[in-house]
Structure 1
Amino acid sequence: MAQETRPEGNDGTGFFAKNGKIYDPDGEEFIPLGFNAATFWAPAVGDCKQANMYTKVPQSGANAVRIVSQVDGSFGWNSNPTTQRELIDSAISNQLVPMLEMHNATCGEPLQPIIDYWESETMVEMAKDFEKYLWINIANEHNFDSPEEWRDTYIDIITSLRSKGVKNLIVLDAGDRCGQDPEAPLTYGKAVLDADPQKNVVFSIHMYGFWRSEDRSFTDWTPPFLVEEELPKLKETGISLIVGEFALDDEAAGEGGPNYTADSVLAVCQRNGIGWYAWSFFDSQEAYYYSMVDDVCGDLSEENRTIAGKYFIPYLQEHASIPELMGSFLRVSDPQITVPRNNGSGSFFIQTNGDWTVETEDAWIEIATPNGTKNAKVQISTQNTDEDRSGTITIRTNTEVFDVEINQANVLNVNPTSIETPSFAGSKTIEIESNGDWTVS
């Protein structure tokens, strides 16, 4: 397939936007799929949150990360250029395309400190140093008085940054209702793009309580923006679009939570070639519908994943493609798989940007897909046995090798193991975890 050329006037070396799509520096289409990583608050778990950038976020299957930060001197233990540079560098080293944003313009907070910060010599130098990879998200969810003010302000900011030699891809949040109102980019997005000397702007919609999907019904109040209608309309204007924040729909979100289903958002994005960043990798232990893991200092095991983690992580591991320019790599979703003794089967995800093979020396393990290219879901099955046993599957690329341990054993966990029932009618619940058939008598 032919590689896309840069827009007229674009002489940068990094990612670029053209004809409603996003391309990597080699001219290959790139659809970002990943997480917001809110690293600047909660200093009590700050070391773990920063470590996520080196380990768990890459292991999650994401190909991109929105680094949620603030201007130097603001609230937050890592709101400074040194840590921001480290986070960008770690993302690139772990095959994540980084987007750096400034969070302290949210809703009604002032914008000028953020403008001054991006135009400072330190941040201009940082942008230039990471031009090939870094996306610049100017300000998070800033509210403007009108779409015209949004247009004029961002044209001025972009013009100033370009005059200083900043050629990075720039991301602009929508301009009202805290980043959720599509009116400004729908009306003036193309004008902002055309005014950019580099023609390199992507527009971002955030989705929370003001958005709805067709599979939801409402009685007292209907959210104004329909996922299935507004996202395609934005794309039809010719702008490149991402969903910069959204969340899993869950009743625990309560008032102010999403009024759409995540299934609808993902389906519309996939049909229209729109990338997205879920909020967030870890927000707080209480807001598990906004976090992928329960314990931020824990691992990525199924036991430590929240309902959101169980939803988003497998999707990313199957669908997020990583550009070849990010370097050779191999990610495997599961280092260990346990299947039952009879009719055993399982699967795991492979992520790589090249060719791969899967093989085993254990004759009782059967591999449905022994080789392939780039991302894949690999199915395995096992022959029946009367005893527990273990084997190994080996995944190879041109540069990497990864072993998956296959355990064949019947698993049965019951909680609680004893119960007391009242003398009168009543009910109790027993949780059963098993990888095979079971009966209760």
Structure 2
Amino acid sequence: MNSRKRLGVVAAAGVAGALAVALAVQPATAGEPEAEAVGLHIEDGRLVESTGNDFVMRGANHAHAWYTSQLGSLADIKALGANTVRVVLSSGHQWEQTTPDQVAQIVSECKANRLICVLEVHDTTGYGEQSAAVSLDAAADYWVSVLDQLRGEEDHIIVNIGNEPFGNTGYEAWSADTQAAIGKLRSAGFEHTIMVDAPNWGQDWSGTMRADAQEVYDSDPTGNTIFSIHMYGVYNTAAAVQDYLGSFVDAGLPILVGEFGHNHSDGDPDEDAIMATAEELDLGYLGWSWSGNSSDVGYLDMSVNFDPNQLTEWGERFFNGPNGVAETSEEATIYN
């Protein structure tokens, strides 16, 4: 999430028909024998635990990098029924670096609260359009620097290489840069499931991730990559939501909604359709965000000042409404 997300609605409408044709990928098939799966992994286009159980993410995003004193929010989010939290980290390029010790503390807190944690580097947000943003390669270097804190936690942690790694400029490089970053992490020894965000401020209105997903997936020698789409103003109709998510399911490729909201400056996302479609297709969703948004997007706070006893209208809808977290979330079986 970033308040500088750019409009892609008009362009999305213009390419919608072309995208349906452009996606001509087939379900992932076995090539050379893969190594035995470690921890959370992908099987037949689904995220699966090491126990063999299907795992469907239900949870919220938490802005840890900007509010390091609010790590107790993980317990609050868990208490509302979540099975997953996506935690904002910083590589130190745009904000103060999340240190290895802090990473270890986050992992410990996730496990103590029986949560699966998606850890993401936020400094890549809007690369190519946002001048301060850094490349996926720089984010990958950060991940390598904290590998010791994450090694052995494959059951509990998913590595989201970089948040919204391209804006609306230079996004044509998304596929090559994403494959290179995955390769760097695998070469360094990462066995975790890797999550990759779409370009175009996460919304993929250009269809770049949709068209190149199979190639990116096939580049991972472990086959353990999952795609993340962020749904804001581009996804303002049920048809748009269903078409995008359904295309990945039909292709046998793993996907979740890594961010979405009930409103946004670039349009009015259809949060009911997002949650209903994710539930229908058994796909994960992670809403933006628990608390602490800047004033221009403060309406996306789920709680007032990180107080779980003061849920906002969005928070109530997200956690307690139809197809919401309380109704649909199941705890990871690794904790049983």
Shorter-normalised TM-score: what interval? 0.7 to 0.9
Q: Which residue of 2 aligns with 1:202?
A: 226
CA contact (8 A) 2:140 2:185 kept: no
Deviation, 1:231, is 1.5
Instruction: Kindly indicate whether residue 133 of structure 2 is the aligned counterpart of residue 133 of structure 1.
Output: no
Deviation, 1:325, is 1.2
Instruction: Kindly indicate whether residue 47 of structure 2 is the aligned counterpart of residue 25 of structure 1.
Output: no
CA contact (8 A) 1:204 1:242 kept: yes
Aligned partner of 2:256 among 234, 237, 242: 242
Matches within 5 A, 1:86-125: 86-108=105-127, 109-111=133-135, 112-120=137-145, 123-125=146-148
Aligned partner of 1:308 among 304, 314, 335: 314
CA distance in 1, matches of 2:188, 2:293: 38
3-state SS of 1:168 partner? coil
Instruction: Kindly indicate whether residue 310 of structure 2 is the aligned counterpart of residue 289 of structure 1.
Output: no
CA distance in 1, matches of 2:301, 2:192: 29
Amino acid of the residue matched to residue 125 of structure 1? D
TM-score scaled by structure 2?
A: 0.81
Instruction: Kindly indicate whether residue 39 of structure 2 is the aligned counterpart of residue 14 of structure 1.
Output: yes
> Which structure's residues are more often strand, by fraction?
1
CA distance in 1, matches of 2:157, 2:41: 11
Deviation, 1:268, is 1.1
Superimposed CA distance per residue, residues 214-239 of structure 1 (whole angstroms, 9 cap, x where no aligned partner)? 4xxxxxxxxxx911222211222221
> Which structure's residues are more often helix, by fraction?
2
Deviation, 1:12, is 3.7
CA distance in 2, matches of 1:229, 1:184: 15
Deviation, 1:40, is 1.3
The 4+ residue runs of structure 1 with deviation greater than 4 A are 144-148, 285-288
CA distance in 1, matches of 2:244, 2:178: 22
3-state SS of 1:211 partner? coil
CA contact (8 A) 2:93 2:134 kept: no
CA contact (8 A) 2:61 2:87 kept: yes
Q: Which residue of 1 aligns with 2:130?
A: none
Q: Which residue of 2 aligns with 1:163?
A: 187
Amino acid of the residue matched to residue 134 of structure 1? I
CA contact (8 A) 2:175 2:216 kept: yes
CA contact (8 A) 1:288 1:294 kept: no
Q: Tell me the matched-pair count.
A: 294
CA distance in 1, matches of 2:282, 2:177: 28
Instruction: Kindly indicate whether residue 67 of structure 2 is the aligned counterpart of residue 58 of structure 1.
Output: no
3-state SS of 2:42 partner? strand
Deviation, 1:273, is 1.6
Q: Which residue of 2 aligns with 1:185?
A: 209
CA distance in 2, matches of 1:96, 1:28: 15
Which structure's relative contact order is higher, taking Cα pairs within 8 Å and 6+ residues apart? 2
CA distance in 2, matches of 1:294, 1:11: 44
Amino acid of the residue matched to residue 241 of structure 1? I
Q: Computing the radius of gyration over CA atoms, which structure comes out larger, 1 or 2?
A: 1
CA distance in 1, matches of 2:54, 2:291: 29
Root mean square deviation, CA, Å: 2.2
Q: Which runs of 5+ in 1 are unaligned?
A: 1-5, 215-224, 328-441
Q: Which runs of 5+ in 2 are unaligned?
A: 1-29, 128-132
Deviation, 1:147, is 6.3
CA distance in 1, matches of 2:41, 2:85: 17
CA distance in 2, matches of 1:73, 1:205: 24
CA distance in 2, matches of 1:127, 1:152: 25
TM-score scaled by structure 1?
A: 0.62
Deviation, 1:309, is 1.3
CA distance in 2, matches of 1:174, 1:272: 20
Matches within 5 A, 1:259-278: 259-278=268-287
Instruction: Kindly indicate whether residue 63 of structure 2 is the aligned counterpart of residue 38 of structure 1.
Output: yes
